[in-house]
Amino acid sequence: MAEIRPFRAVYYDKAKAGLKDVIMPPYDIIKDTAQYYKKSEYNIARIDKGEENAGDSDSHNKYTRAGAYLEKWISEGVLKQDEKPGFYVYRQEYTMPDGEKKEMTGFFAAVKLEEFDKKIILPHEKTHAGPKADRLKLMRATKTNTSPILSLYFDPDKKLHSKLEAAAAGAPLIEILGDDSVRYRLWKAEDAGLAEEIAGFISGTPLFIADGHHRYETALNFRNEMIEKEGALAAEKYGYILMCLISMEHSGISILPTHRIKNQWTRAGFEDDVDVKKFFDVRRLKGAAELKREMSKSKGKKVIGVYMKSGGLLLELKEEEYSGIIKGKERIPQFYMLDVSVLHWFLFKKLLGMDDSEVLDGLEYTPDMDEALETVESGNAEACFLINPSTVGAVREISLNNETMPQKSTYFLPKLATGIVINRM
């Protein structure tokens, strides 16, 4: 199965950089890069999400600047590399949208890249060309993993998780209390016996990518590119990628729904359609507050909350009727039972006859129900569609059956901090 190995992590020297000022969230959820530039001249944003400048060219741009920053900070000692390899146990606090505090535990490792068809490392979502082109240019310029991939593994009996907890019993190597009061802690597990046990356990289980599909596929492409340039030895040099590995059962991770916001919605009154009523129990609600209450009570049910200027709707799927529709279809039943599939594949496409261009036109995503409702109430969108979250079990079943979920099916929390640990290839 999966092959992992200890690595010599690169991380910030707390004597030379204020740690809370140099980390950032994953690059793909950042909307305002400037705020991270302002925090510190050493903020990881300058490498992982550089800004474009006037006069940039093929030979001088945000990617070449990223490589220059990396080398400069290493030479100045702002970034330092451990002399001995190890695995790194990681804990990150986070806050749920309802204010509940949680903590995730995992560990960082260098993981051997494998093609998806080997079913050793499995995806659950499709990727798009734009982000991969960006990440490939950055990888060429830095030959470094600055942003870890989040992956899941099976550990129902806590065989590995208990060892990680034991390794995190002492004083951490790094501890950061961020501006948002989120605590990040890192411990190094360099004992040879423990490292062998960790690697041995992971070798018996597949890994499921939770966050970072674009970066993983980019790393595969980069490895293959370097093999063509440098020969077979490049497979070893560029054949591993930085991952944070967490157990499906005990890590403390959460999955939020990804609600849909439609800036344009030309199908007012769709709830009165005969086919819609055939497959959904439709309830009209007074407003956003009532819709939010009903959605919060609907966990475990197949419901779609709809909010438009005309008011709110709660659509509850008639699962018996629906089962007849999906029986014998080309994809596994678990795909069609995803809440996002009920919305996109069934309501939008099958019942309302919308094609991909109409579905995607003016479509935005958010894990925040309040944001989705407020966007409609403020007049900045015409409709929003609220769904319940996918489960870790659904991710596992989709991945194991060589399926992929529709785009933006999952929103995992926490979002790993970029800049805590870096891996130089």
Residue 408 lies in a domain: no
Tell which residue, 120, 152, 151, 160, has the closest CA to residue 1.
120
Q: What is the signed CA dihedral for 161, 163, 166, 168, rounded to 10 degrees?
A: -70
Amino acid 103: pLDDT: 94
Choose between 72 and 409: higher pLDDT. Answer: 72
For 231, other C-beta atoms within 10 Å of its C-beta total: 9
264, 361 in Cβ contact below 8 A? yes
Helix (H, G, I), strand (E, B) or coil at 418: strand
Q: Per-residue pLDDT for 250 more than 90?
A: no
Q: pLDDT digits over 76-135, tens only?
A: 999 999 999 999 999 999 988 888 899 999 999 999 999 998 999 988 877 667 788 999
If asked whether residues 283 and 239 sit together in one domain, one would say no
Task: Say if residue 88 is in the same domain as residue 193.
Answer: yes
Q: Are 242 and 421 in contact (CB under 8 A)?
A: yes
The string of pLDDT tens digits covering residues 124-167 is: 877 667 788 999 999 999 999 999 999 999 998 999 999 999 99
- Compute the average pLDDT of residues 265-294: 93
Do 234 and 278 belong together in one domain? no
Is 283 within a domain?
yes
Which band of pLDDT confidence, cut at 50, 70 and 90, is reported for residue 11? Answer: very high
Q: Give the global pTM.
A: 0.89
Q: What is the pLDDT of residues 346-385, one digit of tens each?
A: 999 999 999 989 999 999 999 999 999 999 999 999 999 9
pLDDT of residue 370: 94
Dihedral, CA atoms, 348, 354, 355, 361, nearest 10 degrees?
-80
402, part of any domain: no
Cβ-contact 131, 30 below 8 angstroms = no
- Per-residue model confidence (pLDDT) at position 302: 94
Q: Is the Cβ–Cβ distance between 144 and 150 less than 8 Å?
A: no
Burial of 394 (0-12, 13-18, 19+ CB in 10 A): buried
Domain for residue 407, yes or no? no
Say if residue 359 is in the same domain as residue 329: yes
Q: 162 vs 31, which has greater pLDDT?
A: 162
Identify whether 32 is part of a domain.
Answer: yes
DSSP readout, 10-55?
A: EEE-TTTS-GGGT-BS-GGG-S-THHHHHH-TT-THHHHSPPP-TT
Same domain, 204 and 95: yes
> Are residues 143 and 424 in contact, defined by beta-carbon separation less than 8 angstroms?
yes
Residue 313 has pLDDT above 90, yes or no: yes
**Average confidence (pLDDT) over 34-55:** 94
- What residue numbers bound the domain in which 70 lies? 4-254+413-424
Do 417 and 360 reside in the same domain of the chain? no
Number of domains present in the structure of the chain: 2
pLDDT tier, 404 (very low <50, low <70, confident <90, very high otherwise): confident
Q: For residue 295, is pLDDT > 90?
A: yes
Whether 396 maps to a domain, the answer reads no
Q: Do residues 221 and 277 share a domain? A: no
Instruction: Let me know: does 95 contact 19? Beta carbons within 8 Å.
Output: no
- Alpha-carbon distance 162 to 285, whole Å? 47
Whether residue 401 is predicted with pLDDT greater than 90 in this model: the reply is no
The half-sphere exposure of 301 on its side-chain side, counting CA atoms within 13 A, is 17
The reported pLDDT for the residue numbered 377 is: 95
Peptide bond into 97 cis (omega under 30): no
Q: What angle do CA 201, 204, 210 make, to 5 degrees?
A: 85
Q: How far apart are CA 74 and CA 85, in angstroms?
A: 18
Specify whether 30 is located in the same domain as 116: yes
pLDDT band at 397 (very low <50, low <70, confident <90, very high): confident
* Average pLDDT value for the chain: 92
Which CA distances in Å does 366 have to 131, 256, 414?
19, 10, 15
Residue range 312-334: mean pLDDT, rounded: 92
Could you tell me the CA-to-CA distances from 390 to 260, 336, 339, 393, 398 in Å, in that order? 14, 12, 7, 8, 11
Q: Do 344 and 242 share a structural domain?
A: no
246 and 360 in a single domain? The answer is no
Is 383 found in the same domain as 334?
Answer: yes
Tokens of 141: 């310029």
- 186, part of any domain: yes
- What is the percent of the chain where pLDDT is above 90? 75
In a domain, 175, yes or no: yes
Question: What's the whole-number mean pLDDT along residues 295-303?
Answer: 89
CB 29 within 8 A of CB 147: no
Are residues 176 and 250 located together in one domain of the fold? yes
Residue 74's pLDDT band (cuts 50, 70, 90): very high
**pLDDT tens figures, 212-239:** 888 999 999 999 999 999 999 999 999 9
Q: What's the rounded Cα separation, in Å, for the pair 322 and 275? A: 11
pLDDT band (50, 70, 90) for residue 399: confident
